[in-house]
Amino acid sequence: MTDGPLIVQSDKTVLLEVDHDRAEDARTAIAPFAELERAPEHVHTYRVTPLALWNARAAGHDAEQVVDALTTYSRFPVPQPLLIDIVDTMGRFGRLQLQHDPAHGLVMVATDRAVLEEVLRSKKIAPMLGARLDPDTVAVHPSERGRLKQALVKVGWPAEDLAGYVDGEAHPMSLSEEGWALRDYQRRATETFWAGGSGVVVLPCGAGKTLVGAAAMAKAEATTLILVTNTVAGRQWKRELLARTSLTEDEIGEYSGEKKEIRPVTIATYQVITRKSKGEYKHLELFDSRDWGLVIYDEVHLLPAPVFRMTADLQSRRRLGLTATLVREDGREGDVFSLIGPKRYDIPWRDIEQQGWIAPAECTEVRVTLTDSERLAYATAEAEERYRLASTAHTKSGVIRSIVDKHAGEPTLVIGAYLDQLEELGQALDAPVIQGSTRNKEREALFERFRSGEIDKLVVSKVANFSIDLPEASVAIQVSGTFGSRQEEAQRLGRLLRPKGDGRQAHFYSVVARDTVDTDYAAHRQRFLAEQGYAYRIVDADDLLRPL
C-alpha cells in the first residue's frame, strides 16, 4: 500500500481524493482515459470506458502509459483483471483498418483474421462490405465508409481509418502572423490533427480554437466549409479569418437565415442546414455544392443528428471538430468518434490558465432558501414543473442583485433559460436582454457596446452559451439552465475565460434553490468543470455580502 490519491476498483471506477497533495498530478494523468461521473466535495468518481480508452489510443497513448498512471497513483494494488481488460480494450483499436487499395479502392484489412470473421457475420455490417479479396482483406462500398465505422464502434472493434483523403478544390491562403503568432499548444493541436487527417481538438473557451481552424485551413489550402452554432458566431469567424489570414471579404461567404452565399470559404449555421421544407433537409445540398477540401465543425458537441447523417458521406474529406468539451448530453460521443474522428488533441484547462492564456476563475454555488409559499408551490407541483419553479423562484432575484452590487462596475453577464425570468431581471438590473427572438443586428450591437465598456451588464439566454467573444466579461451569474447539462456549464464559464487586460480573476456564480431538484441538477452540471480542476465553493445566500 502507498499513499496515493487514487483508489482503483474492479468495476472500472476510480476514486480520487481531492484534498490529497498529489491529486492534481493524478487528475492530469488519468484525464486522457477516464471520465468523471460524480464530483462531491472530497472524493471524485471516474470511470474507465472503452470509448475513453480508444480516444486515448488514437491520441497516441498506449496501454502501458494507462497502466502506469493507475499503478503510480493508486493507494492500493490495482486489480489485475482491470489492468488486463484495459490492455485488451485498447488492443481492439486498429485490428481492423480502412485502407486505399490501388486496384480495388476502399478496403478493410484485418491484422487479426478472427476479428474479420466475426464482423463478417454481423447482419448489420455485412451489407456494407463487398467481395472478400484475400483471407485478411474485404472490399468496402465507398459510400459506406462512415456508417461502417459507426457500426464497428458499436460492436467493439473500432477501425483505424488510413484510407486517406481527397485534396478537394485548391484555394491558396496563408496565415498573416503580423503582430501575433500561433501559441505552442495551437501549433501542436494543428499538427496533431493534420497528421491524423481528421478528428477533434479539445480546448477551453478563450484558448483560440478559431486560430487552430485557421491554421488547419492554411495547411489545406483548399475550399473550406465551416459549420457554426449561429449567425453571430459565424460573423466572429469571418472577422478572425479576415484579421489572421490572407483571405479577403470576397472569398468568405455566409450561409445563414439571412444570406445564401457559397464562396471558397463558406460559413454556415447548423440551424439553416438542418431546416426542413416539406419534410426534406433541402440545405444539406450545401455539402455537395463544392469540392470541399476541409470541413470544420465548430462546437462539435452540439452537432445535430441530420449533420451526422450527412457527415457519414463525407469521409473522404478532412474533418476538424472543435470543442471545449466532448460531453454530449444525447450520448452520441461514439458518433463523433467514428464520423468526425477521434480526439486528436486535448490539454487541461488549468495548464493553459497557468501559462496565462486564459483567466483564472473562482466558481461559487450560492444556495437560496425558498419562501414558505414557494416551497409549498414546489411541493405540490407535478414532477415536470418542479425544475422550472425552483429555477425561477422570485427569491433568487434579490440574491442576484446583491452579487451584481458586489461586483459593481465589472462587466457582468446574467445567464438563464426562462425568458420571463430574464425579462424580470433585465428590468430589475436596468440591463438589456438578449434572447432567441433578438434580431442578429441588435445582438451584435449590444455585444459590441458590452465589449467597448459602454454598458457593463447584459442579461442573456442560452443564445450566448456558444461562440460569443466577450473578452472583458469577468462575472457571470447563472440563474437557470438546461437541467443537468455539463456542456452548458462549461460553455457558460467559458464566457469569462478570455484573459483580462488587467489580469483580474473571473467569478462564476450559480444561484441554486436548496432542497430542490435545482441542487441535484447543479451537482450534475458541475461534473465536467470539476474534471478540469475547478472547485465550487458552496455558500449560503445569507452570507453572500460577507467576503467569499
222 pLDDT exceeds 90? yes
What confidence score (pLDDT) does residue 293 get? 95
329 confidence band (pLDDT: 50, 70, 90)? low
Q: What is the mean pLDDT of residues 510-532?
A: 78
Residue 288 and residue 119 in contact, taking contact as beta carbons nearer than 8 Å: no
Q: H-type helices in 61-202, by residue range?
A: 63-73, 80-92, 113-120, 145-154, 184-196
Same CATH fold assignment for domains 184-347 and 356-543: yes
Beta strands across the sheet bearing 506-513: 433-434, 457-460, 412-415, 475-478, 506-513, 361-368, 536-540
CA–CA separation, 323 and 201 (whole Å): 7
Residue 279 DSSP symbol:
T
Tally of CB atoms within 10 A around 370: 22
What confidence score (pLDDT) does residue 206 get? 77
What are the backbone dihedrals phi and psi of residue 494, each rounded to the nearest 5 degrees, phi first?
A: -60, -25
Q: Which residues contact 342 (CB under 8 A, 6 or more apart)?
A: 54, 55, 58, 59, 196, 199, 200
What confidence score (pLDDT) does residue 546 get? 60
Biggest distance spanned by C-alpha atoms of the chain: 77
Cell 419553479 identifies what position? Answer: 389
pLDDT one-digit tens code per residue, 75-95: 999 999 999 999 999 999 999
pLDDT one-digit tens code per residue, 25-69: 998 899 889 887 776 667 888 889 999 999 899 888 999 999 999
Tally of CB atoms within 10 A around 115: 17
Query: Kindly report the CA angle at 464 between 446 and 215, in degrees rounded to 5?
Result: 100
455 pLDDT exceeds 70? yes
**How high is the mean pLDDT of the chain?**
86
477 pLDDT exceeds 70? yes
Q: Which residues contact 44 (CB under 8 A, 6 or more apart)?
A: 15, 16, 18, 36, 38, 530, 531
247 confidence band (pLDDT: 50, 70, 90)? very high
Per cent of the chain over pLDDT 70 is 91
414 pLDDT exceeds 80? yes
Correct CATH for 356-543 of 2.40.110.10, 3.40.50.10860, 3.40.190.10, 3.40.50.300? 3.40.50.300
DSSP collapsed to 3 states, 384-416: HHHHHHHHCCCHHHHHHHHHHHHCCCCCEEEEC
Is 491 or 252 the better-scoring residue by pLDDT? 252
What confidence score (pLDDT) does residue 548 get? 47
H/E segment holding residue 444? helix 440-452
Single-letter amino acid code for the residue at 215 = A
543 pLDDT exceeds 80? no
Most confident option among 247-256, 452-461, 489-498? 247-256
Task: Look at strands 105-110 and 343-346 and give their pairing.
Answer: unpaired
Q: What is the mean pLDDT of residues 334-342?
A: 89
547 pLDDT exceeds 60? no
Tell me the domain boundaries of the chain: 6-91, 96-161, 184-347, 356-543
Tally of CB atoms within 10 A around 299: 23
C-alpha dihedral sign at 214, 219, 222, 228: negative
pLDDT one-digit tens code per residue, 348-369: 777 787 788 877 778 888 999 9
Residue 525 and residue 481 in contact, taking contact as beta carbons nearer than 8 Å: yes
Residue 139 and residue 323 in contact, taking contact as beta carbons nearer than 8 Å: no
Most confident option among 238-242, 342-346, 440-444? 238-242
Residue 25 and residue 17 in contact, taking contact as beta carbons nearer than 8 Å: no
Residue 413, judged by CB atoms within 10 A of its CB (0-12, 13-18, 19+), counts as buried
Residue 459 and residue 414 in contact, taking contact as beta carbons nearer than 8 Å: yes
507 pLDDT exceeds 70? yes
| Helix (H) and strand (E) counts in the chain | 21, 23
Tally of CB atoms within 10 A around 350: 17
What confidence score (pLDDT) does residue 266 get? 95
Single-letter amino acid code for the residue at 528 = F
227 confidence band (pLDDT: 50, 70, 90)? very high
Global pTM value: 0.78
Superfamily of domain 184-347: P-loop containing nucleotide triphosphate hydrolases (3.40.50.300)
Residue 135 and residue 112 in contact, taking contact as beta carbons nearer than 8 Å: no
